[in-house]
């Protein structure tokens, strides 16, 4: 089964009725996602802090519920799980072209100036002037100064 097939099958079990507006769907599914995320957290908490063995079956069920709510939210928004997954991986590849690094994560969090061209970077991990994925202290690809 692929993402889009799962999404179509999940939608078959979504609550539909005369009061099924976009607003109600978003609210219902967002609240449901929050609740199911809490169930996942509880399963992990019991394992990490209460000495329980990790209950993989319970975790699988709760993660499935999380996936169901994500699928129904995506459908409500007119998005496919496939396009969401592709966009997410593209974002992560741009953010971490060589794989995750603490340095890139740190630069991403704050607002800094590109040390090479002095262009202001607002909450981005790379210089928006050059937009080439280089860290602010790496030489910019075009060699321009401020």
In a domain, residue 114? The reply is yes
Q: Are residues 42 and 70 in the same domain?
A: yes
Per-position pLDDT tens, the chain of length 146 = 999 999 999 999 998 888 889 999 999 999 999 999 999 999 999 999 999 999 999 999 999 999 999 999 999 999 999 999 999 998 888 777 788 888 777 665 444 445 555 444 444 444 544 455 555 555 555 444 43
In a domain, residue 12? The reply is yes
pLDDT of residue 146: 38
pTM over 0.75: no
In a domain, residue 127? The reply is yes
Count CA within 13 A, CB hemisphere, residue 30: 8
Q: Are residues 84 and 38 in the same domain?
A: yes
- Residues 33 and 69: beta-carbon distance below 8 Å: yes
Domain count across the chain: 2
71: containing domain: 3-89
CATH code for the domain in which residue 45 is found: 1.10.287.1080
Distances from the Cα of 130 to the Cα of 61, 94, 144, angstroms: 45, 13, 9
């Amino acid at each position: 089964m692929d993402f889009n097939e799962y999404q179509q099958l999940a939608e078959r079990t979504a609550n539909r009725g005369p009061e099924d507006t976009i607003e109600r769907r978003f609210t219902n599914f967002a609240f449901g996602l929050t609740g199911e995320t809490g169930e996942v957290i509880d399963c992990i908490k019991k394992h990490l802090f209460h000495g329980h063995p990790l209950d993989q079956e319970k975790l699988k069920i709760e993660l499935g519920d999380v996936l169901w709510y994500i699928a129904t939210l995506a459908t409500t928004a007119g998005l496919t799980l496939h396009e969401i997954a592709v966009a997410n991986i593209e974002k992560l590849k741009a953010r971490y072209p060589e794989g995750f690094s603490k340095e890139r994560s740190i630069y991403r969090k704050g607002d800094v100036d590109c040390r090479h061209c002095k262009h202001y970077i607002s909450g981005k991990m790379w210089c928006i002037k050059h937009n080439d994925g280089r860290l602010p202290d790496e030489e910019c690809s075009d060699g321009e100064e401020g």
